[in-house]
Amino acid sequence: MITLAVDCMGGDHGPDVTLVACRAFLSHHPDAQLVLVGLADRLAAFEHPRARIVAATEVVHMDDAVEVALRKKKDSSMRVAVMQVKEGKADVAVSAGNTGALMAIARYLLKTIEGIDRPAIATQLPNAKGGATTVLDLGANVDCTAEHLLQFAVMGSALVSVLNEGAEPTVGLLNIGEEAIKGSDTIKQAGELLRAAASAGDLNFHGNVEGNDIFKGTTDIVVCDGFVGNVALKASEGLASMIGAFMKEEFSRNILTKAAAVLAYPVLKALKHRMDHRRYNGAALLGLRGLVFKSHGSADPFAFEQALNRGYDAARNKLLERVQARIAHAAPLLTGAEPATKAVAEMAVH
């Protein structure tokens, strides 16, 4: 049985969404069980033979400062859920709560894998090939060294190899041009490290890629710092929302635009489905000594179930062990990054 610890209080909607998603998830995964963490009175009505409730007395709110979540709310549903992983009572923790707080709590409790200085947030963005491009980092690390970007590439390769169960995933380094001579000094140095890692057999480096390559699907993985990655994530979500709003608006206009909208509806519907970020909900916090997945805070039941699915797949396919093995193999190249001296508090994702 794969056991998931769920922070049922996290996100914009709390148990109204998480419990609905949990019930759907259990119906689709007979080999999974859930540890539901939250305020006892909010979870008491949930009954299932493969679910048990662990009470917490506090909740990390979306606007709570990292320091409050980490130091003052020591019995929060978020912290208790991650503690289930630390104590070996769950294989993975899933939360839709405050991203900065989740990263700080997970890093404090689980620690980082040897050879990794900073955990990274990785998720998938839909691409034109009908699949998805994995992008990292998405906001955990705004200022990155070349060595950090190499670490992200190695961890991302392990993640995608688990998700796709196929050939070695290709890695692209996000830059302002494909030429190796372009970009900042950090990006140029990262390119050199990635080429060296490719020569050593640690990853499949494609080369530099540009922003449009994320959505073209040029590579399976795109590596960047957290500032740029978060901008790309929000742009993708904004585009999906714009398509939905456009479809609604066209159907509300005059008879001619309504007729045109009816003809175009199948194409627009397919495009909206492909760009629907809910289908790719569930970002992995890579580099920790335990599996933690972050759902979007505004997730509906369908989207939160996808985050549960991703956590389940990661545990079932032993993502943690694969990341550790890749890091160990690439250890000679990964040394040199400056150790992080403070908890992650510069989160850009909420």
Q: Residue 180: which domain range?
A: 120-280+326-350
Peptide bond into 64 cis (omega under 30): no
pLDDT value, residue 126: 86
Q: Which two tokens stand for residue 315?
A: 């545990």
* Cα distances (angstroms) measured from residue 312 to each of 31, 32, 72, 179: 10, 8, 30, 39
pLDDT value, residue 253: 63
Residue 269 shares a structural domain with residue 169? yes
Average pLDDT over residues 257-282: 65
pLDDT value, residue 333: 76
Grade residue 344 by pLDDT with cuts at 50, 70 and 90. Answer: very low
Q: Identify the burial level of 43 via C-beta atoms within 10 angstroms of its C-beta, where 0-12 means exposed, 13-18 middle and 19 or more buried.
A: buried
Residue 175 shares a structural domain with residue 263? yes
Grade residue 339 by pLDDT with cuts at 50, 70 and 90. Answer: very low
Residue 130 shares a structural domain with residue 31? no
Residue 227 shares a structural domain with residue 168? yes
Residue 1 shares a structural domain with residue 132? no
Q: What is the largest CA-CA distance in the chain?
A: 67
Residue 1 shares a structural domain with residue 48? yes
pLDDT at residue 37 tops 90: yes
Report the domain count for the chain.
Answer: 2
User: What pTM did the predictor assign?
Assistant: 0.84
Residue 49 shares a structural domain with residue 95? yes
User: For 128-169, how does the pLDDT look when each residue is reduced to its tens digit (9 = 90+)?
Assistant: 888 889 999 988 888 899 999 999 999 999 899 887 776 789
pLDDT value, residue 280: 82
Q: Identify the burial level of 90 via C-beta atoms within 10 angstroms of its C-beta, where 0-12 means exposed, 13-18 middle and 19 or more buried.
A: buried
Residue 6 shares a structural domain with residue 147? no
Residue 198 shares a structural domain with residue 172? yes
Q: ∠114-116-119 over CA atoms, to 5°? A: 125
Residue 56 shares a structural domain with residue 15? yes
Nearby residues of 89 by Cβ (< 8 Å), 6 or more positions away: 3, 5, 35
Return the residue matching tokens 């909010």: 42
